[in-house]
């Protein structure tokens, strides 16, 4: 029997969309009072009345919008100005390499690190203590502030590197050098020329990742729990808090809050789109005006991103330092001694949690790569008959706030009586791992010279041998990169683990967040370090293994 | 080939084409870029771009080709680029198309003989990226010939080489093809290629 050409593509998109759509239904129905599993049938506005009665709801909305839109705007601004100011430096071309550690670090580890850096008793305060004369932590809300500015900055630390990576990928597909040469010969200074002629093209290509950043920032729970204020918290935290409440009736307002977050995200995306349209109009006017002023300003603004990157690296350093810290009194910049006592004390728990984390991450990533390879291969072989346009739908989960539909996934699992299965956790992770794996693999797959496969076929190799002996080895580098990205995404999942596992599947991430409120910095440092170390090791492997394997193959080293 | 036509979104790329190539003969197909020359070769190989559709019949030694999957058609094709697999050694590339089931010593002997024929003895362990342009082109041809093709398709294989190298490599390819009595279909837009081939010339899409 011949399988239809579109089957692998359908399989991939189904694996992502099925739980997502079920999750949306599972969020929307209880939001309007319908949840047979809890004995509630029919419709009611009760959940919404309870939600609206929540004190500080408007503050929660404001917090979410300020931190979400702010983090996205800050990241984009920093990336654009950085590219404009430094696009011609050699360091710029190697950016991908030094971005890797920041991309690999899960949000939670970054958040814990930023806490250790910026909290009143954090490293920055200690650094300033001698000159400002602190002998105790200053009484300032440097994190968990009531405007959500720490949350905004913390999100930007993680999102700006990712946006830079996407911009670099977009730049590789653009005739940027020729455009720049033309604009500069027409009298524009380099930074201004970049903003005028290259940035609009880059922006068009990074719109999807940008909306992913916006949706993530609006819906991020782990960052909001760590860096946002507690009462009222940002909107994304409400459904989680109520879901974890012992009173099952709180499920209904929780669903309403998740629905509100979904709506808010759509509104925010529409708002951004409108603002971008206006900015585009103004920008075209500026580009056509021939004005050349502002180079110095752009160059100064270009330092914004390096500052963010330094803060991010400092955060990573801070968790590592705390994990090794012995006694460490406040104004001291360095612990009195470094030891492995905390690691030793936590050893057994850490091993078990790391095992549980990898037990999900490895199969989820392997499954995602297999599905992505099958789908991309189907598209390469059958073209339009394989429905390649369908693949785009698998990016949808990145454009919705996680709380919005993961909450419903839990409701649906509850309804089906499957709420404590490992399979549910695995599938929920797959929903987020797959889009990233596809994102990494799609472009290199399409860029592979089709004549190589044709040559192999003419030499007598069947389709399977062409895939196995020619395409996969040649694509080893992106395949490993996709694997590393997949593992990083899975290791970082908090909500997917929490909701799909019914709160009973513990990984490094869920456990670290459960401990965060208790706040032993050393223990948190150990958790965050290990949580960051796993994906980091995978990234390093993905970088080094092809170099070693292809050490005698110059044709692949250059790629 | 009988009444072969290629269509892109329903539009025919060239009028229906019929032609015969005798063993040892070189037929040259010429025409402007975009006229479907290369696509015609891809269609013969069974690796036509999914965006195009092909019609017509092609047979080799009396057997219908179009029903066979690409890997069983046993057609050798050379492109403008050598397309050596960058992850395999020179010997690995040459061995790729050798019939499976040959004893290891026999495989190695054939690869060594092919390298000797290409005036590159002892190159089996080398990285293809370390070869010169002319050497890579010769390895690409030997790789095709080791697969024991029943016909040779040449898709502008001399276009990338510089003038001095081009003449020599062209001779090398054509001599090997005639020595083996292979029917050859050469696609080019260089009149010198057609002249060197010495066979009939067909203009496509003119």
Residue B155: closest C-alpha in chain A:
A451
Beta strand B151-155 with B11-12 is unpaired
Dihedral of CA atoms A507, A508, A513, A519 in degrees, nearest 10, equals: 140
- B45/A459 CB distance under 8 A: no
Neighbours of B31 (CB within 10 A): 19
User: Would you state the structure tokens that stand for residue A353, as one six-digit string?
Assistant: 């949690």
DSSP helix/strand/coil, B154: strand
Backbone angles phi, psi at B187, to 5 degrees: -105, 130
Instruction: Specify whether the CB–CB gap between A202 and A167 falls below 8 A.
Output: yes
Distance of CA B116 to the CA centre of its chain: 21
**pLDDT(B161) > 80:** yes
B128 vs A: CB within 8 A: yes
DSSP assignment string, A436-472: HHHHHHHHHHHHS-HHHHHHHHHTT--HHHIIIIIIH
- B86/A555 CB distance under 8 A: yes
Which residues are paired to A338 by β-bridges?
A: A325
Q: What is the pLDDT of residue A41?
A: 82
DSSP helix/strand/coil, A16: helix
For residue B130, the 8-state DSSP code is G
How far apart (Å, rounded) are the C-alpha atoms in residues A497 and A480?
24
| Best residue in A377, A380, A458, A557 for a mutation probing chain B (most B CBs within 10 Å) | A458
Homologous superfamily assigned to A1-44+342-559: MetI-like (1.10.3720.10)
User: Would you state the structure tokens that stand for residue A410, as one six-digit string?
Assistant: 């839990």
**Shortest alpha-carbon distance between residue B7 and chain A (Å):** 15
- What angle in degrees, to the nearest 10, is found between the helix axes of A95-104 and A149-172? 140
How far apart (Å, rounded) are the C-alpha atoms in residues A110 and A213?
16
Q: What is the pLDDT of residue A52?
A: 92
pTM for the complete prediction?
A: 0.89
**Shortest alpha-carbon distance between residue A463 and chain B (Å):** 8
DSSP helix/strand/coil, B32: coil
- A459/B96 CB distance under 8 A: yes
Q: What is the pLDDT of residue A1?
A: 41
Chain A residues within 8 Å of chain B (Cβ atoms): 381-385, 449-463, 465, 469-470, 473-474, 476, 550, 552-556, 558
CA separation, residue A558 to residues A97, A100, A477, A552, A554 (Å): 15, 19, 11, 12, 6
- A449/B83 CB distance under 8 A: yes
Collect all residues with Cβ–Cβ distance below 8 Å to A468 and sequence separation of at least 6.
none
Is there a common fold for A1-44+342-559 and A63-339? yes
How far apart (Å, rounded) are the C-alpha atoms in residues A532 and A104?
7
Instruction: Specify whether the CB–CB gap between A42 and A454 falls below 8 A.
Output: no
Average pLDDT, chain B: 91
**Shortest alpha-carbon distance between residue A455 and chain B (Å):** 7
Q: What is the pLDDT of residue A394?
A: 92
**Shortest alpha-carbon distance between residue B31 and chain A (Å):** 21
Domain definitions of chain A by residue range: 1-44+342-559, 63-339
Q: What is the mean pLDDT of residues B186-206?
A: 87
**Shortest alpha-carbon distance between residue A4 and chain B (Å):** 15
Judge: domain A63-339, CATH 3.30.9.10. Answer: no
Facing residue for A554 by CB, picked from B46, B77, B127: B127
Neighbours of A514 (CB within 10 A): 12
How far apart (Å, rounded) are the C-alpha atoms in residues A148 and A62?
9
Q: What is the CA radius of gyration of chain A?
A: 24
% residues pLDDT > 90 (chain B): 67
- B81/A458 CB distance under 8 A: no
How far apart (Å, rounded) are the C-alpha atoms in residues A550 and A553?
5
Residue B80: closest C-alpha in chain A:
A451
**Based on the number of CB atoms within 10 Å of its own CB, is B90 exposed (0-12), middle (13-18) or buried (19 or more)?**
buried
Q: Which residues of B touch A550 (CB under 8 A)?
A: 87
- B86/A455 CB distance under 8 A: no
- A455/B77 CB distance under 8 A: yes
- B127/A459 CB distance under 8 A: no
- B130/A554 CB distance under 8 A: yes
Using alpha carbons only, give the angle A137, A112, A406 rounded to the nearest 5 degrees.
135
How far apart (Å, rounded) are the C-alpha atoms in residues A368 and A363?
8
- B69/A454 CB distance under 8 A: no
- B50/A473 CB distance under 8 A: no
Sorting pLDDT into bands at 50, 70 and 90, what band is B10? confident
Give the helix/strand (H/E) hosting B59.
strand B59-60
How far apart (Å, rounded) are the C-alpha atoms in residues A77 and A305?
9
Name the stretches of chain A with pLDDT < 70. 1-2, 420, 558-559
Higher pLDDT, B159 or A202: A202
Q: Which residues of A touch B49 (CB under 8 A)?
A: 383, 450
Q: What is the pLDDT of residue B206?
A: 53
How far apart (Å, rounded) are the C-alpha atoms in residues B126 and B128?
6
For residue A35, the 8-state DSSP code is B
B49 vs A: CB within 8 A: yes
- A460/B72 CB distance under 8 A: yes
Q: Which residues of A touch B187 (CB under 8 A)?
A: none
- A383/B51 CB distance under 8 A: yes
How far apart (Å, rounded) are the C-alpha atoms in residues A72 and A214?
6
**Shortest alpha-carbon distance between residue B45 and chain A (Å):** 7
User: Would you state the structure tokens that stand for residue B73, as one six-digit string?
Assistant: 């058609």
């Amino acid at each position: 029997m011949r399988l239809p050409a579109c089957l692998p593509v359908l399989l991939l998109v189904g694996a992502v969309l099925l739980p997502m759509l079920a999750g949306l239904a599972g969020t929307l129905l209880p939001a309007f009072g319908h949840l047979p599993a809890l004995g509630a049938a029919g419709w009611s506005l009760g959940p919404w009345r309870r939600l609206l009665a929540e004190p500080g709801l408007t503050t929660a909305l404001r917090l979410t919008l300020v931190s979400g839109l702010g983090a996205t705007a800050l990241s984009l601004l920093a990336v654009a100005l950085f590219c404009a100011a430094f696009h011609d430096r050699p360091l710029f071309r190697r950016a991908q390499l030094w971005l890797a550690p920041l991309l690999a670090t899960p949000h939670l580890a970054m958040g814990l690190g930023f806490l250790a850096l910026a909290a009143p008793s954090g490293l920055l305060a200690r650094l300033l203590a001698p000159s400002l004369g602190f002998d105790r932590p200053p009484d300032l809300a440097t994190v968990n502030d009531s405007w959500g500015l720490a949350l905004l900055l913390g999100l930007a630390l993680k999102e700006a590197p990712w946006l830079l990576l996407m911009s670099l990928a977009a730049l590789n597909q653009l005739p940027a050098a020729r455009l720049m040469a033309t604009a500069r010969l027409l009298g524009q200074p380099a930074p201004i020329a970049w903003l005028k002629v290259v940035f609009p093209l880059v922006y068009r290509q990074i719109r999807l990742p940008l909306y992913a950043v916006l949706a993530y920032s609006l819906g991020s729970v782990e960052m909001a729990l760590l860096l946002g204020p507690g009462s009222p918290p940002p909107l994304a935290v409400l459904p989680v808090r109520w879901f974890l409440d012992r009173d099952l009736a709180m499920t209904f307002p929780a669903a309403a809050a998740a629905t509100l977050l979904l709506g808010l995200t759509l509104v925010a995306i529409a708002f951004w789109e409108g603002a971008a349209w206006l900015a585009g109009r103004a920008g075209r006017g500026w580009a056509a005006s021939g004005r050349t002023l502002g180079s110095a300003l752009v160059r100064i603004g270009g330092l914004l991103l390096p500052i963010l990157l330094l803060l991010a690296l400092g955060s990573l350093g801070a968790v590592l330092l705390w994990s090794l810290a012995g006694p460490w009194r406040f104004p001291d910049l360095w612990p009195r001694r470094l030891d492995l006592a905390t690691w030793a004390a936590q050893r057994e728990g850490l091993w078990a949690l790391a095992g549980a984390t990898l037990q999900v991450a490895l199969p989820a990533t392997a499954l995602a790569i297999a599905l992505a390879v099958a789908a991309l291969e189907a598209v390469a072989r059958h073209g339009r008959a394989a429905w390649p346009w369908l693949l785009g739908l698998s990016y949808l989960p990145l454009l919705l706030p996680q709380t919005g539909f993961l909450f419903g996934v839990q409701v649906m699992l509850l309804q089906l009586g499957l709420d404590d299965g490992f399979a549910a956790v695995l599938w929920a992770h797959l929903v987020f791992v797959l889009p990233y794996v596809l994102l990494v693999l799609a472009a290199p797959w399409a860029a592979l010279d089709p004549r190589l496969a044709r040559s192999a076929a003419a030499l007598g190799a069947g389709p399977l041998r062409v895939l196995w002996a020619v395409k996969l080895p040649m694509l080893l580098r992106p395949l490993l990169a996709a694997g590393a990205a997949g593992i990083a995404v899975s290791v970082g999942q908090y909500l997917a683990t929490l909701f799909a596992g019914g709160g009973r599947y513990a990984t490094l991430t869920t456990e670290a967040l459960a401990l965060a409120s208790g706040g032993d910095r050393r223990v948190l440092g150990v958790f965050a370090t290990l949580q960051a170390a796993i994906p980091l090791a995978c990234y390093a492997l993905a970088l080094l293994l092809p170099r070693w394997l292809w050490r005698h193959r110059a044709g692949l080293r250059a790629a | 080939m009988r009444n072969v036509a290629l269509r892109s979104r329903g539009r025919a790329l060239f009028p229906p084409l019929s032609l015969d190539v005798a063993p040892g003969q070189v037929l040259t197909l010429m025409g402007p870029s975009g006229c479907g020359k290369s696509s015609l070769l891809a269609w013969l190989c069974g690796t036509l771009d999914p965006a195009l559709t092909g019609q017509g019949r092609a047979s080799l030694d009396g057997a219908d080709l179009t029903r066979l999957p690409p890997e069983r058609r046993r057609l050798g094709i050379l492109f403008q680029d050598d397309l050596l697999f960058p992850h395999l050694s020179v010997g690995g590339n040459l061995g790729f198309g050798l019939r499976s089931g040959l004893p290891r010593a026999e495989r190695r002997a054939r690869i060594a003989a092919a390298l000797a024929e290409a005036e590159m003895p002892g190159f089996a362990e080398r990285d293809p990226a370390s070869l010169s342009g002319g050497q890579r082109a010769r390895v690409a041809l030997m790789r095709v010939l080791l697969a024991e093709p029943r016909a040779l398709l040449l898709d502008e294989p001399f276009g990338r080489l510089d003038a001095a190298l081009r003449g020599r490599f062209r001779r090398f390819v054509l001599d090997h093809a005639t020595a083996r009595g292979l029917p050859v279909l050469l696609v080019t837009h260089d009149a010198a290629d057609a002249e060197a081939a010495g066979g009939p010339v067909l203009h496509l899409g003119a």
